[in-house]
Amino acid sequence: MSETPEELHYASSHEWARLEEDGTVTVGITDHAQDALGDIVYVELPDEEQQVEAGAEAGVVESVKAASDIYAPVTGVVIAANEVLEDAPERVNEDPYGDGWFFRIQPDDPGELEDLLDAAAYDEMCSEEE
Amino acid sequence: MTSPLRTPLYDEHLAREARMVPFAGWSMPLHYGSQIAEHHAVRQGVGMFDVSHMRVFDAEGAGATDFLRTVFAGDVARLAAGRALYGVLLNENAGIIDDAIVYRTDGGYRVVSNAGTSERVHSWLLHHLGDDTRLQPRRDLAMLAVQGPRAIACLHEATGFDAAHLPRFAFAWHEGSMVARTGYTGEDGVEVLVPAVDAASLWRRLADAGAVPAGLGARDTLRLEAGLNLHGHDMDESTPPTAVGLGWTVAWGEDDAPVRRFIGRDALERQRRPDEVLRGIVLEGRGVMREGFAVTTERGEGTVTSGIFSPTLGYSIALARLPRGSKGACGVQIRSREVPGRIVRPPFLRSNE
């Protein structure tokens, strides 16, 4: 059974977003997504200072099974990418909501987070997919 | 669609929380948690696979040898009892209907072929069968592959059978099971054809002796590192064996012997040096090559037929259909980028066999 922390926001494309105290937004993929993908072998992250748009492609995650695009959940500027994933992509499988984060965005409008799903709605969407 | 078939080990897979997937009409384990961990278990210790979806046919009777010498491009007349031969079944155009292993038993032959082609192979064999040969599909058998540097010791501990004396591609009988020193991983090991009713108990004894259950995912990355083709991807009915690195499996016969008229021979005579051949590619940049990706070489364009991230090597490797004579540097189109690669001859790993 996969985990869906209450305090996060979720995109229907299986990213999670967390509003940090400093107003930035951390992005990763959900436990459900990493479980469906299987062992992750390679992650392509956006560059720092790259402008990203909500719903647009911002990276790629490759598992043993397939490649999947990663979409930015909010519009803004990338201020950090998780370089650990370059050598240790398996962190995404091991700790999708912690060490396995992908990138951090300085959002233009943090209010965009409210357009995303809450944990209950995301879980419901996943169970309908199955 | 009918519900997928279950192997005699289905409940064992569920008990180990396997991720089950539909495969060639069967419900099969993709992995039991981590495909990469299973891959490493086979390279470093011992793993076991349920391959009961493979199809088994016994061919017996006075005409069995002539029958198999016609439908199989390898020459089974060379086989002593207790020995096996890897090779291909060809259509009239020399395209590969399937690859298979043929075992010479005391009473005839046993053919083990792929799940995905089983209907095609069965009807093809029946079509070419004479009155003096009986073909018996053996749906009463399960098949387990025990593979890895510790496979022989593990089998010994689990069953009391010591396969160490068996040469590669030889087999022996033990308590109603056929134990063959064959496999699809590039490692030492055995494949065991066991009565279906005994399969679960063998599986559990092997697990107790240290064999790590491994799924179809690890089976695919292991075979590709070993440079072994997968039918339906690296070869099919449009490719002659000479175009996919399997020319060596074809027995043309000695010059002074009568010509053996195996099916596809005439067409294959004309395709001894096809324009496209199967080669390996090692990716030198970041990313993962996948089936269908375009490849650019100095000799022209090609296509990836199987690609993976190699758990053992730590980078992406692939088999690709390339213009004959391609070598050296190439470029692989990975989505919007062209990533540099190098053309090599498989296998990608030095074998531990």
Residue contact A62–B217, C-beta within 8 A:
no
| Residue given tokens 């012997």 in the structure block | B257
Please report the pLDDT score of residue B102 as a whole number. Answer: 98
Is a pLDDT exceeding 70 seen at residue A1? no
Is a pLDDT exceeding 60 seen at residue B219? yes
At residue B137, φ and ψ (nearest 5 deg) are -70, 135
CB A48 within 8 A of CB A59: no
Contacts of A42 in chain B (CB under 8 A): 286-288, 309
CA of B233 to nearest chain A CA: how many angstroms apart? Answer: 15
pLDDT in tens, A8-55: 999 999 999 999 999 999 999 999 999 999 999 999 999 999 999 999
Indicate the pLDDT class of residue B2, thresholds 50, 70 and 90. confident
Residue contact B308–A64, C-beta within 8 A:
yes
pTM: 0.94
Number of residues in chain A: 130
Residue contact B36–A90, C-beta within 8 A:
yes
DSSP labels, B148-210: STTHHHHHHHHHS--GGGPPTTBEEEETTEEEES--SSSSSEEEEEEEHHHHHHHHHHHHHTT
Residue contact A64–B335, C-beta within 8 A:
no
For residue B97, give the amino acid letter: I
Indicate the pLDDT class of residue B146, thresholds 50, 70 and 90. very high
B302 pairs with which residues across the strands?
A: B295
Average pLDDT, chain B: 96
* CB contact residues (below 8 A), chain B span 263-292, against chain A: 286-288, 290
CA of A66 to nearest chain B CA: how many angstroms apart? Answer: 8
Q: What percent of chain B has pLDDT over 90?
A: 95
Please report the pLDDT score of residue B258 as a whole number. Answer: 84
Residue contact A38–B221, C-beta within 8 A:
no
Helices (H), chain B: 10-15, 35-44, 64-71, 118-127, 151-159, 196-208, 216-225, 265-269
Please report the pLDDT score of residue A42 as a whole number. Answer: 94
Is a pLDDT exceeding 90 seen at residue B245? yes
